[in-house]
Amino acid sequence: MPSFSSSLSCPTYRSCTSSAPFFSNHHSSSLINGDLRRSLSFLSSSPQKLNLDELTCVRSQRKSLQSSVVVQDGAVATKSSSAEELKLTIPSLEEDKVAIESDGGGNQSTVSITVVGASGDLAKKKIFPALFALYYEGCLPEHFTIFGYARSKMTDGELRDMVSKTLTCRIDKRANCGEKIEEFLKRCFYHTGQYDSQEHFVALDKKLKEHEGGRISNRLFYLSIPPNIFVDAVKCASSSASSIKGWTRVIVEKPFGRDSQTSAALTKSLKQYLEEDQIFRIDHYLGKELVENLSVLRFSNLIFEPLWSRQYIRNVQFIFSEDFGTEGRGGYFDNYGIIRDIMQNHLLQILALFAMETPVSLDAEDIRNEKVKVLRSMRPIQLEDVVIGQYKSQTTGGVTYPGYTDDKTVPKGSLTPTFAAAALFIDNARWDGVPFLMKAGKALNTRSTEIRVQFRHVPGNLYNRNSGSDLDRTTNELVIRVQPNEAIYLKINNKVPGLGMRLDRSNLNLLYSTRYSKEIPDAYERLLLDAIEGERRLFIRSDELDAAWALFTPLLKELEEKKTIPESYPYGSRGPVGAHYLAAKHKVQWGDLSHDQ
Ligand SMILES: NC(=O)C1=CN([C@@H]2O[C@H](COP(=O)(O)OP(=O)(O)OC[C@H]3O[C@@H](n4cnc5c(N)ncnc54)[C@H](OP(=O)(O)O)[C@@H]3O)[C@@H](O)[C@H]2O)C=CC1
Ligand SMILES: O=C1O[C@H](COP(=O)(O)O)[C@@H](O)[C@H](O)[C@H]1O
């Protein structure tokens, strides 16, 4: 990966974007053919337009495909495809070189990352640490600069002090950590400015140019600011600080509106200044390792995909629990509530990935097309299929935990739900009649996110007599524990060793911490790297967003218009009992509450 400082372990296949091979080492011939076709048509259509990264990518892909392609006089064919079909001419490596060198800024490009809202919580907690982790792993380009931008007055030194307090090295990567931190901080700068001031963004642009040193500049803006100022900042960044020769991309944080109408208005405003392919709407759950693994699990293991339908699956559960309240974020939260904060985005995105049909390829557009189809096939959510709750104060062990409305930033008497459970349905051939249950709550007894797949009963099971009376509890269950203690386990029935015939439930367990020694990267690392590389697969396209809001907006409106009173539950409990009744109505038992979770 020549354009990246790859002295450490940034995985090389990542440098390729839309045509990235699926696996770094082993390619199935069909994937190779698909990737190769895309590379070839991409190359033959506009070789003169390739930038350095694209050329680098194609070159490295060409290398990795050497064993399966026949290259003759600039024409390429796969061994398994007809030469006629693939008679496409691609530029030779020499021609690539000319293309790079004639590209104005010499043979190197640079990436400038501006964290807008750099003084804030998310920037400190997630963005700067993720950028450092990428730097440590050798995943950032050789030439990069990071700028913090916010209204707070700070010098470069003060920003570096602030950032340095949040940086840590992975447990398995401590070598030269201090040195790496120092090197990284030297690449971080700060610019004070208002979010709606063209003048201040012009000044930022000037500083960026100084750092870019005449190279082809690619610019990434991360909007880590409250949503009411997204459009101001985008307007100024795009008109006064976007790149002239390279790309300009903007990562937009949630919330993307409060409902269909406000979301559409936000999209419309953003599109006044940006093309859709410049907008990277982030849902950090899509960057989590086990969410990313969902498609691998399903599409690369023969044993799962044939079972992935109403024929074998009884219900699917998406469960998000936090063991802390809205402490410190009550002001934001009260305007949104748990349905908008977690369900409409994080859980729904996971559901769409879980339930989609096999995409044509792993290209971003193919995957997002399938996700949209799932979302658009979903039945409108009925109020009677929803339970909402709000936590109240609880004293245990002499400690008093505050109720939601005890938070000073929350209006007294607020009806905003901090817990919700819902039953959703996908009205298509694969999933007809299968309840997809969601449950999300703050201030519960545990912190965890899981996907639970409960399979149907074994027809004519010879061992029913040995399994106890609750047959639902003896069906197979596949659990994907997204966090913490990442794991995938399958509950099976097993004979207890001995002379008798007693069955018990056991787990076939893939616990990541015992299987893999490498620390799991934070979701923001993956997503930032994807944005830098132009990989859109894990970002939300505007039609996905529209479909997601279309599903939830009528429900949210009804809850608000009817002033539905949330059921209260004590801080640190398992949530309101209404969630059990909802599940029971759909003949489901929550998997996370069973005795053998
Ligand atoms: N924090 C989190 O865990 C998560 C946050 N998000 C989203 O990320 C974005 C940033 O979140 P977070 O860092 O928590 O936000 P903050 O409230 O910390 O705001 C970030 C920065 O924006 C500036 N700012 C705050 N309020 C205003 C205002 N009313 N007008 C103008 N500027 C303001 C402040 O910088 P200054 O005063 O220096 O200009 C502040 O440091 C938000 O969209 C949020 O919804 C998403 C998921 C999780
Ligand atoms: O987007 C959000 O996510 C966090 C939970 O993220 P996690 O990665 O720590 O699980 C949640 O606390 C917050 O309310 C929400 O806005």
Q: Which ligand is nearest to the CA of 196?
A: 1
Q: What is the per-residue pLDDT for 63?
A: 34
Distance CA 353, CA 343 (A): 14
Distance CA 101, CA 24 (A): 29
Q: What is the DSSP annotation of 217-286?
A: EEEEEEE-S-GGGHHHHHHHHHHHS--SSS-EEEEEPSP--SSHHHHHHHHHHHHHHS-GGGEEEE-GGG
Distance CA 164, CA 160 (A): 6
Distance (Å) from CA 487 to ligand 2 centroid: 20
Active site residues: 346
Distance (Å) from CA 217 to ligand 2 centroid: 33
* pLDDT(10) > 90: no
Nearest CA to ligand 2 atom 3: 342
Q: Is 345 in the pocket of ligand 1 (CB under 6 A)?
A: no
Q: Is 450 in the pocket of ligand 2 (CB under 6 A)?
A: no
Q: Is 229 in the pocket of ligand 1 (CB under 6 A)?
A: yes
Each residue's pLDDT tens digit, 318-355: 999 999 999 878 888 999 999 999 999 999 999 999 99
State the CB neighbour count (10 A cutoff) for residue 455.
Answer: 16
Please provide residue 520's backbone torsions phi and psi, each rounded to the nearest 5 degrees: -80, 130
The angle that helices 198-212 and 230-240 make with each other, rounded to 10 degrees, is 50
Each residue's pLDDT tens digit, 143-173: 999 999 999 999 999 999 999 999 987 766 6
Nearest atom (ligand 2) to Cα of 332:
16
Residues 187-209 have a mean pLDDT of: 98
Residues 292-299 have a mean pLDDT of: 97
Dihedral (CA of 60, 63, 69, 74) sign: positive
Distances in Å between the alpha carbon of 167 and those of 19, 152, 250, 271, 535?
Answer: 33, 21, 24, 35, 26
Distance CA 222, CA 111 (A): 13
Six token digits for residue 289: 């390792």
Distance (Å) from CA 224 to ligand 1 centroid: 6
Between 441 and 86, the higher pLDDT residue? 441
Distance (Å) from CA 122 to ligand 1 centroid: 7
What rounded mean pLDDT belongs to the chain?
A: 85
Q: Which ligand is nearest to the CA of 257?
A: 1
Most ligand 1 atoms within 8 A of CB, residue of 225, 230, 409 to mutate: 225
Q: Order the strands of the 487-495 sheet from edge to edge.
A: 503-511, 487-495, 477-483, 448-455, 313-321, 436-441, 419-424, 386-392, 567-570
Nearest atom (ligand 1) to Cα of 121:
13
* pLDDT(175) > 50: yes
Residues 446-464 have a mean pLDDT of: 94
Asked whether the beta carbons of 475 and 587 are under 8 A apart, the reply is no
Most ligand 2 atoms within 8 A of CB, residue of 319, 326, 334, 342 to mutate: 342
Distances in Å between the alpha carbon of 349 and those of 186, 540, 544?
Answer: 37, 9, 9
Q: Is 522 in the pocket of ligand 2 (CB under 6 A)?
A: no
Q: Is 120 in the pocket of ligand 1 (CB under 6 A)?
A: yes
What pairing do the DSSP bridges indicate for beta strands 279-282 and 248-252?
parallel
Q: Is 341 in the pocket of ligand 2 (CB under 6 A)?
A: yes
Containing 216, the helix (H) or strand (E) segment is: strand 216-223
Nearest atom (ligand 1) to Cα of 123:
13
Residues 493-508 have a mean pLDDT of: 94
Q: Which ligand is nearest to the CA of 281?
A: 1
Share of the chain above pLDDT 70, in %: 82
Six token digits for residue 343: 């369900």
Distance (Å) from CA 540 to ligand 1 centroid: 20
Q: Is 124 in the pocket of ligand 1 (CB under 6 A)?
A: no
Distance CA 153, CA 228 (A): 21
Q: Is 180 in the pocket of ligand 1 (CB under 6 A)?
A: no
State the CB neighbour count (10 A cutoff) for residue 49.
Answer: 10
- ipTM of model: 0.98
Share of the chain above pLDDT 90, in %: 75
Q: What is the per-residue pLDDT for 264?
A: 98
Asked whether the beta carbons of 232 and 272 are under 8 A apart, the reply is no
Q: Which ligand is nearest to the CA of 341?
A: 2
Q: Is 224 in the pocket of ligand 1 (CB under 6 A)?
A: yes
Distance (Å) from CA 116 to ligand 1 centroid: 9
Most ligand 2 atoms within 8 A of CB, residue of 341, 409, 416, 525 to mutate: 341
Distance CA 505, CA 507 (A): 7
Residues 462-468 have a mean pLDDT of: 80
- The C-alpha angle 131, 368, 293, rounded to 5 degrees, equals 60
Nearest atom (ligand 1) to Cα of 227:
43
